């Protein structure tokens, strides 16, 4: 999980995790599976 400035905030290999401790804002979640990578935008309000 990255913030919008590109700073790495969280590395997790589980399928579920919590962002309860993160401040409100927009985050980027990078999902890697096999040889594929997908970036998903997360908005915490």
The structural domain count of the chain equals: 1
CB 39 within 8 A of CB 20: no
pLDDT at 14: 87
Please give the Cα distance from 4 to 35 (Å, whole number): 24
Give pLDDT, residue 22. Answer: 93
Task: Give the model's pLDDT for residue 17.
Answer: 87
Q: What is the dihedral of CA 14, 18, 24, 28, to 10 degrees?
A: 10
pLDDT, tens digit, for every residue of 32-42?
Answer: 999 999 999 99
Q: How far apart are CA 38 and CA 23, in angstroms?
A: 23
pLDDT of residue 30: 94
pLDDT for the residue 38:
96
pLDDT tens digit sequence for 1-45: 999 999 999 998 888 989 999 999 999 999 999 999 999 999 999
Q: Under a CB-based contact definition with an 8 Å cutoff, are residues 40 and 22 in contact? A: no
In terms of residue numbers, what domain contains 20? 2-44
């Amino acid at each position: 999980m990255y913030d919008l400035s590109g700073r790495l905030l969280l590395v997790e290999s589980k399928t579920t995790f919590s962002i309860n401790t993160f401040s409100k804002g927009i985050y980027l979640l990078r999902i890697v599976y096999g040889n594929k990578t997908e970036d998903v935008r997360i908005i915490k309000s």
